[in-house]
C-alpha cells in the first residue's frame, strides 16, 4: 500500500472509530513506532530513531490522557505508572542505543494491545446480547469447586461518546 493510501485509510479509520477502537489504534501506532526505532537503530539513523521514539512517547502520553480516573481510580493510576515507565524505557533505549530495551518496550506494548483486543472482543460479544443476563458455571479443576457467576451488561450505560481529539500517528 502506498503511503498516501495508507494515510487516508488510517485517517478514515480514526474518524469512524469508537473510543475502544481508538485505544487499539494508539497501541498499534506505538508498537509501529518502536519497531521503526529499532529499524533506525540497525541502520544507524539517529535522527529517524529520535523521531520514532518521540512519536511513541507522544502516543503513550495520549493513552495516559485517555485514562478515566473518575470511574476507575486504581486502574488509571496503575496504567499511568506503566505508561510513564514505558516512556522512560524508550528514552533509555534511545540514549543507550539498546535494541534489547526497545524489544522489551515493544513486547510490553504488544501484550497490552492483545489484552485490549480481548476487552474489545468481550464488549462486542456483549453488545450482541444487550441487556441480557445469564449465569455461567466456572469449574476450577484443581479444587473441584464449581462457582456460579451472574453477568449483566447494559450497553446503553456503557456507550461512550466519540472522541474529538485528533492524533497524528
pLDDT of residue 130: 55
Give the integer Cα–Cα distance in Å for 6 and 139: 46
Q: What percent of the chain has pLDDT over 90?
A: 50
> Backbone dihedral region of 136: left (phi > 0), alpha (psi from -120 to 50 degrees) or beta?
beta
**Low-confidence winner among 10-19, 26-35, 89-98 (lowest mean pLDDT):** 10-19
Q: With 80 as the cut, is the pLDDT of residue 27 above it? A: yes
Q: With 50 as the cut, is the pLDDT of residue 139 above it? A: no
**Residue 56: pLDDT band with limits 50, 70, 90:** very high
**Per-chain mean pLDDT for the chain:** 78
Q: In terms of CATH architecture, what is 3-158?
A: Up-down Bundle (1.20)
pLDDT of residue 132: 54
> How far is the CA of 146 from the CAs of 58, 127, 137, 138, 150, in angstroms?
46, 27, 7, 6, 13
**Residue 168: pLDDT band with limits 50, 70, 90:** very low
Q: With 50 as the cut, is the pLDDT of residue 59 above it? A: yes
Across the range 93-101, mean pLDDT stands at 97
Give the integer Cα–Cα distance in Å for 37 and 39: 5
Amino acid at each position: 500500500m502506498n503511503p498516501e493510501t495508507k494515510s487516508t485509510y488510517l485517517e478514515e479509520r480514526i474518524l469512524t472509530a469508537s473510543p475502544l477502537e481508538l485505544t487499539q489504534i494508539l497501541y498499534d501506532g506505538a508498537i509501529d513506532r518502536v519497531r521503526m526505532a529499532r529499524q533506525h537503530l540497525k541502520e544507524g539513523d539517529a535522527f529517524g530513531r529520535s523521531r520514532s521514539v518521540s512519536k511513541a512517547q507522544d502516543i503513550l502520553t495520549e493513552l495516559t490522557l485517555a485514562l478515566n480516573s473518575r470511574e476507575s481510580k486504581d486502574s488509571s493510576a496503575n496504567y499511568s505508572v506503566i505508561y510513564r515507565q514505558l516512556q522512560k524505557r524508550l528514552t533509555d533505549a534511545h540514549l543507550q542505543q539498546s535494541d534489547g530495551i526497545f524489544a522489551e518496550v515493544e513486547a510490553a506494548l504488544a501484550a497490552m494491545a492483545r489484552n485490549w483486543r480481548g476487552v474489545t472482543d468481550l464488549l462486542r460479544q456483549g453488545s450482541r446480547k444487550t441487556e441480557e443476563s445469564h449465569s455461567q458455571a466456572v469449574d476450577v479443576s484443581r479444587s473441584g469447586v464449581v462457582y456460579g457467576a451472574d453477568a449483566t451488561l447494559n450497553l446503553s450505560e456503557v456507550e461512550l461518546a466519540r472522541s474529538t481529539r485528533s492524533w497524528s500517528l
